[in-house]
Structure 1
Amino acid sequence: MSVREIAALISAGLLLAGAPLASAQASPAENATVSVLHGVPGATVDVYANGSKLLSGFKPGSLTDPLQLPAGDYDLKVTAAGKSAALIQANDVAVPGGANVTVVAHLDAAGKPVLTPYVNDTSKLAAGQARLTVRHTAAAPAVDVRAGGKPVFTDLTNPKEAKADLPAGTVEADVVLAGTSTVALGPAELNLKEGTNTIVYAWGSASAKNLKLAVQTISGLHGNPSGVPGGTGGQAASQSDWPVVAAAVLALVLVAGGTAAVRVRARS
């Protein structure tokens, strides 16, 4: 199924659900920038909207490019791949206008699938500076994050985040168990470019020995204020097709957990 066909199906679903056309034409100031990270190991998914299958085989580790989603409330429902019963259902999900958000489907500290929305820091950076954000979204104990072998963030627990503005450049980072030198993840080389927010996610499960890193980059945090924040990696619906709102809703559906017999209702 092509992106255009997917977008058309979602659009039809929104129209049938009574979404006003004005929602699809909301001004940029009313939109939220939404990215989605699938961080639940083994949860390959199918996606449905109003009974129609839109996607099959959406895999863990995928990160969507940023999409513009009109502010409003959304009802979402997702199911396991090839199944009909809902795994995750979210009604009246509020998406605030003007925010830059990454929604992560991941495991909590006890290994239970959860959804966590993070508001990304897009404040301006001084010349020569870059921002590093680290998010603990893994079923694992507290950790320290080191850069160049020295702790930068300490005692970080799921689903907390930590961030700092640093001189732009390349750093070697790893994740160790809090208060120890026992490496849980890494090392990984991070290129912290000037005027960007590099966001690193630890996801997976320590007990299952499938911990991994995902990296998202938001650019345009200095210089021209009209620059549009960007993202890296992932499978993303194209924004070139008409229903930008539809593609964004698809991203939010994917974020909701992984497979979806989805009934989506958007309210202005």
Structure 2
Amino acid sequence: MKRTAVALTGGLALAVTAAVPALADSHESSVSVLHGVPGLTVDVYVNGEEAIPDFAPGTLTDPLTLAAGSYDVAVYPDGSDPEADEPAISAEGLEVPGGANLTLVAHLAADGTPTLAAFANDTSQLEAGESRLTVRHTAAAPAVDVRAGGEAVIQALENPNEQVLELPAGTVSADVVAAGTDTVVLGPADLALAEGTNTIVYAWGSLDDDTLDLAVQTIDGLHGDPGGVPGGEAGLMGSGSTVLWVLAAAGAAGVALASRRLATHQ
């Protein structure tokens, strides 16, 4: 099973129409945000008030439930004075969809260009004793193979694609190598694949800049009540619907800031 991320290049409003398992309430969505652009930290404001200071690369937010609707946000380079400085990005009436489980990822394309992608997380029910492993290539790096126990279980995975495996629950020792070689670029790492969970592993950063790293997101509750809303363990931030969509904008701000810095240094 292989899926391609939906790149968001035309704005911040998110429209996901892929056929994915809906949440119990179609008027709400669960969204997590990964900041995967190295070297960029931002401050995020909502309605003129600082909501998220120092949103740093490598941070993966908690999965939060957000009511469908619209929000106004402004994002500044870390340490800026909003009374004196212009925001790196601002938007009014950001539209939030309902009925999906999503992860927004600000990351580097294969050529190192900052970009923003949205992934629909697979929350379909699993058989007893089974676990789901999702691997997403969101790093500035060529195609890779993912090995488990020394054998390639995923081959030639390219940015920004993902591959999903369903495996018996347990612990897997995995590493990431350049496609078709034994050259290790990440790992090895032990992954605890719990029953009834989707463990999502992101490779992010840059191979050339020696900033490659892994981020792990876990969505649980996939063997329980089919009418329930899957939960998760996804990071360091607190909860709150306003905070969630602000963080999504912060990921996009990383893209804008990176592009601005690249232009300045060229």
Range into which the TM-score falls when normalised by the shorter chain: 0.7 to 0.9
Residue identity matched to 1:46:
D
Q: Between the two proteins, what is the percent identity of the paired residues?
A: 59
1:256 aligns with 2:240: no
Q: 1: CA distance between counterparts of 2:86 and 2:112? A: 21
1:154 matched to which residue of 2? 155
Question: How far has the Cα of 1:228 moved from its partner?
Answer: 3.5
User: For residues 79 and 110 of structure 1, do their structure 2 counterparts lie closer, same or farther at Cα, with a shift above 3 Å needed?
Assistant: farther
Q: 1: CA distance between counterparts of 2:131 and 2:253? A: 31
2:125 matched to which residue of 1? 124
Structure 2: state its 5+ residue gaps.
Answer: 1-23, 257-266
Question: How far has the Cα of 1:68 moved from its partner?
Answer: 1.1
Where does 1:27-38 land on structure 2 (aligned, <5 Å)?
28-38=25-35
1:54 aligns with 2:51: yes
2:114–2:255 Cα contact (<8 Å) kept: no
Where does 1:209-228 land on structure 2 (aligned, <5 Å)?
209-228=210-229
User: For residues 178 and 68 of structure 1, do their structure 2 counterparts lie closer, same or farther at Cα, with a shift above 3 Å needed?
Assistant: same
User: For residues 85 and 181 of structure 1, do their structure 2 counterparts lie closer, same or farther at Cα, with a shift above 3 Å needed?
Assistant: farther
1:104 matched to which residue of 2? 105
Question: How far has the Cα of 1:54 moved from its partner?
Answer: 2.5
1:176 matched to which residue of 2? 177
1:47–1:259 Cα contact (<8 Å) kept: no
1:136 matched to which residue of 2? 137
Question: How far has the Cα of 1:191 moved from its partner?
Answer: 0.6
User: For residues 172 and 56 of structure 1, do their structure 2 counterparts lie closer, same or farther at Cα, with a shift above 3 Å needed?
Assistant: same
1:78 matched to which residue of 2? 75
1:246 matched to which residue of 2? 242
1:8 matched to which residue of 2? none
RMSD of aligned C-alpha atoms? 2.5
1:40 matched to which residue of 2? 37
The more displaced of 192-201 and 217-226 is 217-226
Give the aligned length. Answer: 230
Structure 1: state its 5+ residue gaps.
Answer: 1-26, 239-243, 261-268
Q: 2: CA distance between counterparts of 1:162 and 1:133? A: 6
1:115–1:257 Cα contact (<8 Å) kept: no
Question: How far has the Cα of 1:61 moved from its partner?
Answer: 1.1
Question: What SS is found at the alignment partner of 1:231?
Answer: strand
Residue identity matched to 2:253:
G
1:48–1:259 Cα contact (<8 Å) kept: no
Ranked by relative contact order (alpha carbons within 8 Å, sequence separation 6 or more), the top structure is 1
How high is the TM-score relative to the length of structure 2? 0.78
User: For residues 52 and 92 of structure 1, do their structure 2 counterparts lie closer, same or farther at Cα, with a shift above 3 Å needed?
Assistant: closer
Q: 2: CA distance between counterparts of 1:29 and 1:140? A: 37
Q: 1: CA distance between counterparts of 2:143 and 2:86? A: 34
User: For residues 149 and 85 of structure 1, do their structure 2 counterparts lie closer, same or farther at Cα, with a shift above 3 Å needed?
Assistant: farther
Question: How far has the Cα of 1:225 moved from its partner?
Answer: 2.5
The more displaced of 157-166 and 46-55 is 46-55
Question: What SS is found at the alignment partner of 2:245?
Answer: helix
Q: Can you list the C-alpha shifts for 1:18-61, whole angstroms capped at 9, x where unaligned?
A: xxxxxxxxx93310100111111111111122443333211111
Question: How far has the Cα of 1:210 moved from its partner?
Answer: 1.1
2:146 matched to which residue of 1? 145
Q: 1: CA distance between counterparts of 2:25 and 2:39? A: 36
